[in-house]
Chain A
Amino acid sequence: MHDESTNPGPRPLARGPADPAAGEIRLSLGPVQYFWSRDTLLAFYAEVAELPVDIVYLGETVCSKRRSLGLDDWLQLAGELAAAGKQVVLSSLALVEAESELKTLRRLCDNGRFLVEANDMAAVHLLAGKLPFVAGPFVNIYNQHTLTTLAALGLRRWVMPVELSRDTLADLQTHRPQGVETEIYAYGRLPLALSARCFTARAHRLPKDDCQFRCLDYPDGMLLSTQDEQRFLALNGIQTQSALTYTLLDEIRDMHLLGVDVLRISPQSTHTMAIVRAFDDALNGRREQEEIAQELISYMPSGPCDGYWAGRPGLSWQE
């Protein structure tokens, strides 16, 4: 327990958000949420080294059975990306159930070099009071008191839960503790739910313990449509995502005003490099916003959504 009136919180970062001169929004690349082969992942990250992103999140966040890269592989990749000038953050598994998963989580938190993104409270517990950490979009930070409590335990950056709106963000920014950066999930299919059950295995009538890694065949998740053909969700193993791709490209000006520090782009199986460059162009005013927006829409597997930002149903789009 702590008392926010006496605890100074963690030290500000070099480019702290409390510094009004900062103002600059950086780009991050979120962890790959799908199951890709080892070769695909290695080829993908070889390109990332050249990309205009400042921060790269690495690791398996959805299913511990997916091991095309092990923790040692991720650490090696992290070293290479750090050498290429990226800030590397290791992302933890979002749903931790088994003892083996706790073991991996302890190794991840004890890696001794890279910042960790905690995606569940077990990870927060292992890091709290010991090491600075990032709270990922799966950690429920809905108000300033939660933010302050976690800041006193070492929170350096938080990714706003995706269902929260621009207005809630504005309120949270006015209360934000010193030294805590704000990151917004700005592009990608939305992570909406986690279950113990694997819906990809279920679709193939397989038990989870004999899933035959069918999710390898769905590099952007498996489309779920309603009976009247609305593209609704994407099944990604134990995770359920939106079929529509969330995009906040048009909100960049507003995010500057709100003091957002980082925009996260969540990788997809194709065009991720172009998507990052498009956001970089938008941040630097290199091209017309409308042209960039149209380009992004052409990359989306099922079209865009942005409802959560406006406080509307998540699936709605700019009305």
Chain B
Amino acid sequence: MELVCPAGNLAALKSAVDAGANAVYIGFRDATNARNFEGLNFSERDMEAGIAYARQHRCRVFLALNTYPQPAGWPAWQQAVDRAAGFGFDAVIAADIGVLAYAARKHPRLPLHLSVQGSATSYEALRFYHEQFGVRRAVLPRVLSMSQVERVIANSPVEIEVFGFGSLCVMVEGRCLLSSYAAGKSPNTHGCCSPAAAVEWKETPRGLETRLGGVLVDRVGAGEHAGYPTLCKGRYEVEGNTYYPIEEPTSLNTLDLLPRLAAAGVAAIKLEGRQRSPAYVRQVSQVWRAAIDASQRDPESYRPLPEWQQVLGRVSEGQQTTLGAYSRPWQ
């Protein structure tokens, strides 16, 4: 089972490689990828250096090109595919059918992965991308139960990668427009959820308020932690109750499930967090390297170490983690 780690810049890439990643995924510095944030991602020069560094250490490099171009922006995506082929990436991770079709036609030897943004939740959907574009691997949305993942893998024509750790999308990736509804930009259209320019933090007599596009996402009292205003993790009112109607601020953590994921035939575990620091990438990658190695040495007696969970807990949203769709209340 491969470990696939995020890198938002060259330092993070080196951290991931040094921590034992089998592959890292990175993006260009524009809207062609789903972590299009100010100051993040790779210039061409850093990309060359990063790929060279990874190669020296026998680590593969994937390019995330996983947003949905509109006609006015199409040339940038087409050029990104061409540049990816030129750089010699080990795979391009894409979601848009037009982008996949172009890549498959123009660069038939460039391996294609289906991004989580492609929203494929069944083996019939995977067969589409495999038959039409020769996709070799797919990343599953974070909405399937363990038995559903097992069934997908048993019938899938492509390798399956699943998220192991990181910020949790509660909604099916590629099918969530909450961010553009409030703030005009979504992961699909602009490669960003909750764009920073639309975020407000304001002290008021009633507490610290966080807003996105003017929409009040949460209001916290003294001593409470105010998270980044992501709409699906906000506190709202439903039928007179104020709570987190969609999800608490929390991160996905599947460390407990590693042996079962491996037994199901999962080809790779993906860690989320290209927007996070090199220190985060190092810590989280080290924990997962150790955990995957331990579970492969002896799946029967594998138990996550408390110190691993502590490290992951500290860097999680709201300092808490969940099994997400793998847990019963979701099913």
Contacts and interface: CB of A to CB of B under 8 A. Distances in A.
Interface string A202-235: 1100011100000000000011111111101101
- Interface of A, helix, strand, loop or mixed by DSSP: mixed
Given A145-B74, A226-B216, A1 B237 contact: no
B130 to A, nearest CB: 10
A225 B236 contact: yes
Contact of A164 (B70, B170, B234): B70
The listed residue with most A CB atoms (<10 A of its CB), out of B134, B177, B213, B247, is: B177
Contacts of A193: 171-172, 175-178, 232
A317 interface: no
Contact of A202 (B144, B188, B236, B245): B245
A75 to B, nearest CB: 21
Nearest to A165: B70
Contact of B102 (A138, A145, A202): A145
Contacts of A203: 238-239, 241, 245
Contacts of B237: 224-227, 229
A308 B71 CA distance: 16
A144 B236 CA distance: 39
Contact of A96 (B97, B118, B121, B328): B121
A175 B71 contact: yes
Nearest to B97: A146
A27 to B, nearest CB: 24
Contact of B239 (A164, A171, A222): A222
Contact of B69 (A98, A142, A202): A142
A296 interface: no
Contact of B331 (A96, A145, A209, A230): A209
Contact of A163 (B177, B217, B234, B328): B177
A172 interface: yes
A171 B74 CA distance: 11
A190 interface: yes
Interface string A134-174: 00001011111111111001000000011110011001100
Contacts of A171: 70-72
Contacts of A315: 181-182, 213, 215
Interface stretch (A56-64, A76-84, A121-129, A283-291): A121-129
Contacts of B182: 313-315
B97 A149 contact: yes
Given A125-B127, A197-B247, A313-B184, A227 B144 contact: no
Given A125-B128, A145-B74, A227-B237, A194 B216 contact: no
B96 A142 contact: yes
Nearest to A141: B97
B58 to A, nearest CB: 32
Main secondary structure of the interface of B (DSSP, over half): mixed
Nearest to B148: A97
Contact of B171 (A102, A141, A194): A194
A91 B176 CA distance: 20
Interface string B228-253: 00001011111101100111000000
Contact of A230 (B102, B121, B216): B216
Contact of B238 (A142, A172, A224, A314): A224
B174 interface: yes
Interface residues of A, number: 75
Interface string B129-166: 10111100000000111001001000000000000000
Contacts of A148: 98
A292 interface: no
B186 A208 contact: no
Given A1-B104, A192-B177, A203-B245, A223 B143 contact: no
B110 to A, nearest CB: 14
Nearest to B72: A171
B49 to A, nearest CB: 32
Given A163-B177, A171-B72, A240-B178, A208 B172 contact: no
A144 B73 CA distance: 11
Nearest to B236: A224
B105 interface: yes
Contacts of A223: 238
Contacts of A225: 236-238
Nearest to B328: A207
B176 A227 contact: no
A228 B74 contact: no
A146 to B, nearest CB: 4
A226 B181 contact: no
A1 to B, nearest CB: 6
A133 B287 CA distance: 47
B296 interface: no
A199 B238 CA distance: 11
Interface string B291-331: 00000000000000000000000000000000001001111
Interface string B66-78: 0011111010000
B171 A240 contact: yes
Interface in A94-133: 94-99, 101-102, 105, 120-122, 124-126, 128
Given A96-B124, A171-B70, A233-B178, 7 more contacts: A96-B121, A140-B175, A145-B97, A149-B98, A161-B188, A193-B175, A232-B215
7 contacts: A97-B121, A121-B128, A122-B124, A125-B127, A126-B124, A142-B189, A307-B184
Interface of B: 68-72, 74, 95-99, 101-102, 104-105, 118-122, 124-125, 127-129, 131-134, 143-145, 148, 151, 170-172, 174-178, 180-184, 186, 188-189, 213, 215-219, 232, 234-239, 241-242, 245-247, 325, 328-331
